[in-house]
Structure 1
Amino acid sequence: MSISPLFRWPNSVNHFITTELAAGDFIVATVGGVPYTLPVKTVTNNTALTLVSNFTGPTQSGSAWSAVPRLALNMVTAALVAQSAEALRGLNYDKQNWQQVFSGTGNITVRLPDQSEFSGPSWKYLSDNMATKSGGAVPVNQGGTGATDAAGSRKNLGLGSAAILDAGPDIGKVMTVGFNSVGIGSVNDAGVPPLGNYNRTDIPRGIYTGAPTAPGAPGSNGGAIALIMNGSYGFQLAKQNLYSALQYRECRAGAFGDWWTLYSSGNTTRASDGTLKAASPIVKLFADGSVETNEESQGVTVTRQAVGEYLIEGCIGLNADAAWGGIDGGFDIPTDRNKQPRIWLDYKVNADGSIVIKTYHRMHASAPEFARNRIGHTDANRTFTEIVADGEPVDIPADSFVSVRVEMPVNSIWNQKQKDILEAMEKAEYERQQETQP
């Protein structure tokens, strides 16, 4: 179909038709204020061409026109298709996401057009788990207090009267912990150094770590703990380390008394006669050679070598504690109901520190017949025959034991524990000092 007169050009520009247009290209012109994009079927010559379809616009001469190559328009179309597909894909994602938001039962994952994702609870989950108020209050089982006022809330939550009290040292306040309060607690929790003077009377009630060499301290390796009561009137309790005895002293009108040691099963031993003696380190020796040690004598072993002869190893001789009678008195032997010794005892300390204990039968010839401690049997004529003579080797009585106070080597279990404790305390104090330095 021939182009209308609208598309006939003056001879001065005719040569542009054949050079700028080809079949399949487009021309763009504005006619009557309306833009038209017209596809070209064939180019006849420099003054005429044929359109793919009839031009339905008005006729107008001398209009300006522009050539649009087919490739350029194809690229525009392809870009439009891609953008439309992306927009449609986004709409599909939105539809899927909204369906999850409305109908999901738990956590859902939302995917965006750029393929990024994030997770969270669905609206249905939030609705199902939303607290329901009753009388304006959220129930306790739904995370609320079950009340609309403070008093009711405390009651429902099981809070007592202390919940409405302030903290502090005054009457009617909750007792707190630390150096500047009246509660019981370590001063180190408040960043305060250990007690440097046990004789102070301005320390509030509490439990404090203290330097073992500070004025007024009981004096020992390790760090003491003091309980100060009521300033210048009260008492102090102190314990140097994990295994030491508990000590105490009183304070009256700012004057401290002497430290006194509290004895217990940890620092005493019950002798064979039932009396208590200061323990450390103690070995209980039985008739068959079995042994019972306390914490300080751990590692000691005993061997029964013959009748009435026992070898104690793992020690370095006898302890010279004066409370036991010095180095030659570190024994406690069984006695009868009249407090008469039932055996004789002799010993020898070997070069390696081991101890040989020898026990012998002991009679009391001057005592009444029932108290002479004779070992034998009576025949049918009621005649008594002794089978063990006085001074003859005999095992320790089966119903009793011999207590031996020994000296332990520096590498004993007990001494190693004490060393480890001291080193740990010194390390902790060093680290605390480092942390508190500006």
Structure 2
Amino acid sequence: MPAGTIALTINSKTVTGSGTAFTTELKVNDFVVAVVGGVTYTLGVAAIASNTSLTLNTAFGGPTTSGLAWTALPNQALVGITAQVASDTARAIRGLNYDKDNWQKIYSDVATVTVQRPDGSAFTGPSWGYMANQYTTKVDKSELGTAAFRDVQTSLSDATSGRAMLIGAFGFGGVPPYVSNAATLPTGACSIFGYSGSNTDPDYTTRSGAGINMGNGAGYIMQVYVAAGGANLMARVVNQSTGNRSFNTLWGTANTTVDTNNFIKRASPIARLTNDVSQMQPDFAVDEQHIVAGLVSVNAEAEGVSAEKSAVGVYLVKGAVGLADEGWTLEVPQDINGNRLCFVELDTDKEGVITVSVFKRRFDVGSAMIVAGEPMDIPEGRWIDLRLQMPEDSVWNTRMREMEQAAEGEQ
């Protein structure tokens, strides 16, 4: 604090000092700072007359007073303070502008935005519009009920009670787990499984397929199994304490045929041979489950077989390698009394072409047997059932191999 006190007069440029040293403590363009009535006055110095008298740049505008303590403020210091204040003000205004721009982006944009931080760094994040749009597609967790608080399975075979299932768990909604024997199936969980194993496995009749496994948790399992291609549908109940039990095959249109006399027979590749397809009833093609090729209606396993007529009562069946090696091979149409309506002879050449010859029935007195009489066509509206042996490259056999290979590749 400079020595002495000063006196100021309203509307006067003259400052009078008492005990002051204006000539050593001030220079022209420096400032005198004094507080009058609680108001700080910063007064610029225009000239210094002596240690006790100086002239201000502008007349004092406050009340006349004396005995004031005062402070000398060098011009350089005030300029520096002013410059710093200006810099701080500019910085504050820039920050305010950044702040308004940041909020404008956050309020108005519908995507992510980049905002400026006070330290000059930038931050990129979502705007309110973006977040609002995201919420429109989100599920209110309260709508999920208790599912929102469930733990998720730790694996596709995790059977812990109360856990939320994963896609593909136990074979549901994804590729099912594959097994090579029933012993590897869980006893306490319901699941879908695929099978790919040896075709000599006593539990399964084909090398590949899929099934449903339902266990009660006490060693009992109910299984339903479909062989590749859908030819066989099987079911069984397994008591794991006493070992597996063989499947019971369920019979249906895929593995049976209704012969020309309306009897159900076990079916493998089947061909129904007739003289005139146009005269046949709809059941000739089993409600379109059979394929009509020439004079035959064949099931899926016999796809590729066809037939033609070469003479009265003579028919050529092509596409197979002959008649079935075992089991039944031929069924001839009968009347309501069980009498056969014709006599049939079969012959297979080395190319696998089957010649079906049809004759009138004749009783031979000498042998006391029914023998071939005059050639005749297959009776109108009736057919002859033939059970065939198909080549390895048939449509059905090729499809089965491809399905088995695909099943093995998915394991």
- TM-score, normalised via structure 2 length: 0.55
CA distance in 2, matches of 1:275, 1:192: 40
From 385, 388, 399, the counterpart of 1:403 = 385
Q: 1:425 aligns to what SS in structure 2?
A: helix
Deviates more, 1:273-282 or 1:397-406: 397-406
Aligned equivalent of 1:292:
297
Counterparts of 2:272 and 2:175, CA distance in 1: 46
Quick one: which amino acid aligns to residue 341 of structure 1? R
Q: Distance in 2 between matches of 1:349 and 1:270?
A: 24
Deviation per CA, 1:317-352: give whole Å up to 9, x if none.
111122x0xxxxx12121111111112222322222
1:320 corresponds, among 319, 325, 329, to 325
- Aligned residue in 2 for 1:306: 311
User: TM-score, normalised on structure 1?
Assistant: 0.52
Q: Distance in 1 between matches of 2:113 and 2:152?
A: 47
Distance 2:28 2:311 in 1: 131
Aligned-residue offset at 1:235: 4.6
Return the letter of the residue paired with 1:335.
Q
- State the match for 1:332 in structure 2: 331
Structure 1 contact 283–294 (Cα < 8 Å) conserved:
yes
Q: Does the 8 A contact of 2:150 with 2:163 survive in 1? A: no
> Aligned runs of 1:25-36 on 2, under 5 Å?
none
Q: Is the 8 A contact 1:223 1:240 kept in 2?
A: yes
Question: What is the distance in 2 between the residues matched to 1:119 and 1:202?
Answer: 49
Aligned partner of 1:416 in structure 2 is 398
The verdict on how the C-alpha distance between 1:331 and 1:122 changes in structure 2, with shifts beyond 3 A counting, is same
Closer/same/farther in 2, CA of residues 313 and 254 from structure 1, 3 Å limit: same
Q: How does 1:22-421 map to 2 (within 5 A)?
A: 98-99=103-104, 101=106, 104=108, 106-107=110-111, 120-121=126-127, 144=140, 157=143, 185-186=170-171, 194=179, 196=181, 198=183, 203-207=187-191, 208-210=193-195, 212-213=197-198, 217-222=203-208, 225=211, 227=213, 229-230=215-216, 231-233=218-220, 235-251=222-238, 254=242, 256-288=244-276, 289-322=294-327, 324=328, 330-362=329-361, 391-421=373-403
**Separation in structure 1 between the aligned mates of residue 104 and residue 228 of structure 2, nearest angstrom:** 69
Cα gap change, 1:186 to 1:397, in 2 (>3 Å): same
Classify 1:232/1:335 alpha carbon distance in 2 versus 1 (closer, same or farther; 3 Å).
Answer: same
Cα distance in 1 for residues equivalent to 2:165 and 2:134: 40
What is the distance in 2 between the residues matched to 1:270 and 1:279? 9
Report if the CA contact (8 A) 2:202-2:246 is conserved.
no
- Whether the 8 Å CA contact 1:194–1:211 is kept in 2: the answer is yes
Unpaired runs of 5+ in structure 2?
1-23, 30-45, 50-88, 277-293, 366-371
- Measured in 2, the distance between the counterparts of 1:89 and 1:201 equals 71
Question: Does the aligned pair in 2 maintain the 1:162–1:174 contact within 8 Å?
Answer: no
Secondary structure in 2 matching 1:303: strand
In structure 1, C-alpha distance between the alignment counterparts of 2:249 and 2:263, rounded to whole Å: 18
TM-superposed deviation, 1:186: 4.0
Deviations 1:77-115, CA, capped at 9 Å, x for gaps: xxxxxxx9999999877666655555x38558668799x
Letter in 1 for 2:207: N
For residue 119 of structure 1, report the CA deviation from its aligned partner: 7.7
Q: Percent identity?
A: 24
Aligned twin of 2:58? none
- In the alignment, is the contact (CA less than 8 A) between 1:232 and 1:254 conserved in 2? no
Structure 1: runs of 5 or more not aligned: 1-30, 37-55, 60-83, 132-139, 146-152, 179-183, 325-329, 367-389, 430-438
Q: Alpha-carbon deviation of 1:117?
A: 10
RMSD: 5.5
Query: Does the 8 A contact of 1:309 with 1:359 survive in 2?
Result: yes
Q: 1:212 touches 1:223 (CA, 8 Å); kept in 2?
A: no
Q: What letter matches 1:204 in structure 2?
A: G
Deviation for aligned residue 1:283: 1.1
Q: Which amino acid aligns with 1:424?
A: A
Instruction: Write the distance in 1 (CA, Å) between the matches of 2:322 and 2:308.
Output: 16
Q: Quick check: which one's strand share is greater?
A: 2
Equivalent residues of 2:344, 2:356 under 8 A apart = yes
Structure 2 counterpart of 1:242, which letter? G
Tell whether the 8 Å contact from 1:245 to 1:267 is kept in structure 2 after alignment: yes
Supply the distance in 2 between the matched residues of 1:397 and 1:391 (Cα, whole angstroms): 15
CA–CA distance in structure 2, aligned partners of residues 203 and 316 of structure 1 = 45
- Equivalenced residue count is 303
Instruction: Look up the SS of the partner of 1:360 in the other structure.
Output: strand
Residue in 1 that maps onto 2:3: none
